[in-house]
Every structure is written in structure tokens, then in C-alpha cells.
């Protein structure tokens, strides 16, 4: 569970998680990854950890982001199945038994698909809907529409996912990319229990760009298509203009036509320079091979789990 400034939700979250964990047959561990919170979250997590042996805490040295927090949780999870769930109670813990039931029936990746989204703005819902449609069109992936990161992964999938160490991680795409037997169950996405979304528009756009660039070259290839169209137009246009000019029928006047075509082409070129930049920057980040996240503490793990993940 990734946790970033969720002190207000944590007590209720823990209460509801305990109920669910008590109801499952078998033992559970609850891994909370503190993603550099600046409110009372670290103290609360430490208190929970001392009181309950099932609770394990990973602390990041700073905010590394939601996807890295999920990554760290998966790196340290010991279970034969692992559930990823948000800490703001938008994903109801009560849906976990459904995921587990599907897993017991043989599925290895069980998506929780939002049948309904309560309490989210029109803007968030419509941009999310558009995004999933776009990414499914642009890539070979088939991410179930309206699935977040709330899902269950079998241990085999978790082990495979640990091998994937890319920096610009789009976890919900990666777990589809891995394959394995996939299934989905429906749930109603609740309102946030407390606080505000930690995903402002800027961060959401970054996240969307990561999703698209890490699974598709289509934005790069668009430049080729547009280039062919523009060159084709020029090939037809140049002889036409020459002919009209030489035969004295038509003289183009003024600089307006020149200026607008220069601006149009200049604009298109700059956009594609930007797109190339997006990919180039990501390649640069990947070749630096920095660790994905830095831990400042790990609490409650036993010796065998107490290992640092591969860089």
C-alpha cells in the first residue's frame, strides 16, 4: 500500500484492513510504503507497526512517487499473492476477498475494475476514460478500461515484475504486459475518505506520458506520416505554382502565405522535437541506472525478507 500524507485516513484504513485480513484464511502481512510523507503518517505507521506484528513499514528517504512505492512494496512482499491497494480508501478493502476468490480459482492477475466512480470530478473521470482508450489504441496492451492499480498478483507474477527495473514505470501496464492468466472483478470506487488527491493535473499528465512512451513509439512515428503528407503537398504544389507563375495566370502576392506556412511547419517541427525530447530524456534516465528508490528505514521484516532489492 503506497502512503503519501494519509494520516487522516490511516486509522480507519487500518481498522477496515484488519477486518478483511481476519476474515481471510491464511496469514497476511500489511506492507505500508511511506512515500516521503510530511504529515503525521510516519509516526502513525511506526505506532501501527509496534502494535501489530503483521504490519511492515518501508520508508522512502523522500517522495519517489506512487509507482515507486508500489514497486518497493512488491519487492519486499513475501506472500503467495499480493494485493496492491490505495491508502485513501477509494479502493475498498472489502473487495479483497473477491480478488482472492478469483485467484483461488486459478487467475494469476486479478484486476479490480471500477464499475462506478463516486466523488470524482467530471474532469478526472473523462480524462481517465479518454486516456485508457488512447493507450489501448496506441499500444498492443489491453489494459482493462477503468482499472487503477488495485489488483491482485500471484507470486509468480510478482517475481517476474521484480525483474522489470525500468524507471518510468507504468505499473498497471506492466502487469498486463507480463501476461499470465488474467481475470477481473468489479467494484464501486468510493470517494476519498479524507484529504485531497495527491495527483494534481501536472503529475497526472506526466504519468499519462510515461504510460504512453513506455509502451508505444506511435508519437515518434507520427512525424514520419506528417512529413510524407507535407512533402507530398510540396511536390504537387511546386510545379503547380511554377506553371501558374510562368504562364502569367496567377501571381501570389504578399508575405502572408509564406509566413503562415513557415509558422505551421515550424510549429509542427518544434512539437516533434519535443516528442523526441520526451523519449530522449527517458532514455537518459534509464541509462543512468540509478536505484528506483532509496529506503531510509524498513520495519517489521524478518531476516529472509530483509534484503535490499536489486538496483
Given the rule CB under 6 A, which of 65-73, 246-254, 272-280, 281-289 is the region that contacts ligand UDP? 65-73
Size of the site for ligand UDP (CB under 6 A): 16
By a kind-dependent CB cut-off of 5 to 8 A, residue 219 interacts, out of ligand UDP, Mg ion, none, with none
Nearest to 150 by CA among 78, 207, 211, 99: 99
Euclidean distance between CA atoms 103 and 81, whole angstroms: 8
CA distance 114 to 111: 9
173 binds, among ligand UDP, Mg ion, none (CB under 5 to 8 A by kind): none
- Closest residue by Cα to residue 142 from 170, 179, 92, 110: 179
Q: Is residue 211 part of the contact set for ligand UDP (CB under 6 A)?
A: no
Residue 88 binds ligand UDP, judged by CB under 6 A: yes
Q: In the chain, count H helices and then E strands.
A: 10, 8
Strand pairing category for 2-3 and 109-117: unpaired
Residues making contact with Mg ion (CB under 5 A) = 88, 90
Query: Cβ 91 to ligand UDP, closest distance in Å?
Result: 9
Cβ atoms within 10 Å, residue 128: 18
- Considering only 31, 55, 82, 87, the residue that binds ligand UDP (CB under 6 A) is 87
Write down the least CB distance from residue 144 to ligand UDP, Å: 17
**Chain-centre distance for alpha carbon 274:** 22
Task: Compare residues 128 and 212 and give the one whose CB is closer to ligand UDP.
Answer: 128
State how far the Cα of 17 lies from the Cα of 13, in Å rounded to an integer: 6
Exactly one of 180, 193, 199, 272 binds ligand UDP (CB under 6 A); that residue is: 199
Q: How far is the CB of 1 from ligand UDP (least distance, A)?
A: 7
- Which one of residues 86, 146, 154, 210 is an interface residue with ligand UDP (CB under 6 A)? 86
User: Considering CB distances under 5 to 8 angstroms, the limit depending on partner class, which of Mg ion, ligand UDP, none binds residue 20?
Assistant: none
Least Cβ distance, residue 6 to ligand UDP (angstroms): 5
The interface mask with ligand UDP, positions 26-55, x = CB under 6 A, is ---------x--------------------
For the bound state, the minimum distance from the C-beta of residue 302 to Mg ion, rounded and expressed in Å, comes to 31
Residue 299 gets which letter from DSSP? E
Q: How far is the CB of 192 from Mg ion (least distance, A)?
A: 5
Q: How far apart are CA 137 and CA 140, in angstroms?
A: 8
Among 49, 136, 197, 269, binds ligand UDP (CB under 6 A): 197
Residue 87 · residue 9 · CB < 8 Å: yes
Rounded Cα distance, 116 and 189, in Å: 6
Other beta carbons within 10 angstroms of residue 231's beta carbon come to 10
Q: Which stretch binds ligand UDP (CB under 6 A): 50-58, 191-199, 213-221, 293-301?
A: 191-199
**How far is 183 from 202, CA to CA, in rounded Å?**
32
Amino acid at each position: 500500500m503506497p502512503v503519501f500524507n494519509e494520516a487522516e485516513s490511516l486509522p480507519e484504513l487500518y481498522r477496515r484492513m484488519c477486518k478483511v485480513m481476519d476474515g481471510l484464511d491464511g496469514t497476511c502481512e500489511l506492507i505500508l510504503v511511506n512515500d516521503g510523507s510530511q504529515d503525521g503518517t510516519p509516526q502513525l505507521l511506526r505506532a501501527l507497526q509496534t502494535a501489530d506484528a503483521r504490519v511492515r513499514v518501508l520508508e522512502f528517504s523522500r517522495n519517489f512517487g506512487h509507482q515507486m512505492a508500489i514497486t518497493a512494496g512488491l519487492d519486499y512482499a513475501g506472500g503467495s499473492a499480493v494485493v496492491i491497494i490505495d491508502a485513501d480508501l477509494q479502493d475498498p478493502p472489502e473487495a479483497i476477498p473477491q480478488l482472492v476468490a478469483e485467484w483461488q480459482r486459478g487467475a494469476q492477475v486479478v484486476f479490480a475494475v471500477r464499475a462506478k466512480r463516486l466523488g470524482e470530478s467530471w474532469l478526472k473521470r473523462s480524462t481517465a476514460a479518454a486516456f485508457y482508450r488512447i493507450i489501448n489504441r496506441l499500444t498492443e496492451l489491453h489494459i482493462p478500461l477503468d482499472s487503477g492499480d488495485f489488483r491482485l498478483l500471484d507470486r509468480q507474477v510478482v517475481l517476474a515484475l521484480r525483474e522489470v527495473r525500468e524507471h518510468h514505470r507504468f505499473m498497471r501496464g506492466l502487469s498486463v504486459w507480463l501476461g499470465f492468466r488474467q481475470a477481473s472483478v468489479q467494484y464501486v470506487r468510493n470517494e476519498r475518505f479524507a484529504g485531497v488527491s495527491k495527483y494534481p493535473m501536472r503529475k497526472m499528465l506526466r504519468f499519462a506520458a510515461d504510460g504512453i512512451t513506455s509502451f508505444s513509439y506511435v508519437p515518434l512515428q507520427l512525424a514520419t506520416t506528417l512529413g510524407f503528407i507535407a512533402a507530398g503537398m510540396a511536390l504537387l504544389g511546386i510545379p503547380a505554382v511554377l506553371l501558374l507563375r510562368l504562364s502569367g495566370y496567377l501571381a501570389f502576392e504578399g508575405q502572408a502565405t509564406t509566413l503562415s506556412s513557415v509558422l505551421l511547419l515550424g510549429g509542427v517541427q518544434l512539437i516533434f522535437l519535443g516528442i523526441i525530447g520526451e523519449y530522449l530524456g527517458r532514455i537518459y534516465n534509464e541509462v543512468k541506472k540509478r536505484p528506483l528508490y532509496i529506503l531510509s528505514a524498513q520495519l517489521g521484516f524478518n531476516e529472509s525478507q530483509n534484503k535490499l532489492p536489486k538496483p
